[in-house]
Amino acid sequence: MDIRKQNGSSAVRKPFSTQTVVGIAVFSALAFVVSLLIRVPVQFLTFDAKDAIIAITAFIYGPITAPIISFFAAFIELVTISDTGWYGFLMNFVSSATYSLVASLIYSKFRSLNGALVGIYSAVVITTSAMLGLNILITPIYMREFLGVPMTADGVINMIPTILLPFNFAKTLMNSAVVMLLYKPVTLSLSRVGLLSKKTSAKISRGTVVIIAAGVISLVLAIVIFTLLSSGA
């Protein structure tokens, strides 16, 4: 929203409108609630869907909101329900910020069906890769300092094909499914209550059908992977 001076050509630009600030606050609270209520243990790791909430927010209000909400969501989790200290905070922040920032940046440049799909699945690949690298660097420190268990980077690398790679891939895929299935209903709801200035059409277009289909496929694949990991297969 621009506020222009009546007696000159200069302008003062507000980075966020009141409408946007309220929307971001609502989604920030929702991200924490989701991380609190939806926690699915998979071996020694835990899945939650807050990355999807943060990504939807970044899709609606712009990529700049991605790292902001990611930081606050990870920090609130650190001081409330987390038992993994700074390690968990760092992993949570990097995962959420990378996924939501990559997806929203690409979509903001190419606001189309292809842009949405490329953004979301690029975020899956990049976030999965980033988390594997971070695990190799940070997990040995966490195991040694927090749990008193000696572990080397080689030990973490050995865990990549059996748990770390499939878990992080399934986690980002599940979050992608949530984004694709909920983005349209969320934007419709925000538009109706006045928290979204741009009106959203309720019409089911071909693009909407494709996105929903991709979301369902991603959801099924993520559930299969999580089930196999949980069963130890």
Total Cβ atoms within 10 A of residue 120: 29
Confidence grade of residue 3 (pLDDT, cut at 50, 70, 90): very low
> Is 201 within a domain?
yes
Range of the domain at 155: 17-231
pLDDT tens-digit map of 188-227 = 888 787 767 666 666 778 888 999 999 999 999 999 999 9
Tell whether 122 is covered by a domain.
yes
Measured between alpha carbons, how far is 142 from 150 in angstroms, rounded to an integer?
10
Beta carbons within 8 Å of 76's beta carbon, 6+ residues apart: 32
- pLDDT for residue 6: 38
Q: Which residue has the higher pLDDT, 41 or 124?
A: 124
Is 12 inside any structural domain? no
Q: Please give the average per-residue pLDDT across 84-109, as a whole number.
A: 93
Collapse the DSSP code of 84 into the 3-class scheme (helix H, G, I; strand E, B; otherwise coil) and give the result.
coil
The reply to whether 6 falls in a domain is: no
Candidates 117, 224, 118, 216; CA nearest to 169 is 224
In a domain, 218, yes or no: yes
pTM attached to this predicted model: 0.86
Q: In this structure, is residue 88 part of a structural domain? A: yes
Residue 164 lies in a domain: yes
Q: Which residue has the higher pLDDT, 13 or 22?
A: 22
Total number of domains in the chain: 1
pLDDT reported for residue 227 = 94
Pairwise CA distance, residues 99 & 154, whole Å: 26
pLDDT at residue 2 is higher than 50: no
Structural domain includes residue 5? no
Whether 119 contacts 104, CB under 8 Å: yes
Indicate which CATH number applies to the domain containing 150: 1.10.1760.20
Q: Summarize the confidence of residues 151-158 as an average pLDDT.
A: 88
> What's the rounded Cα separation, in Å, for the pair 74 and 100?
14
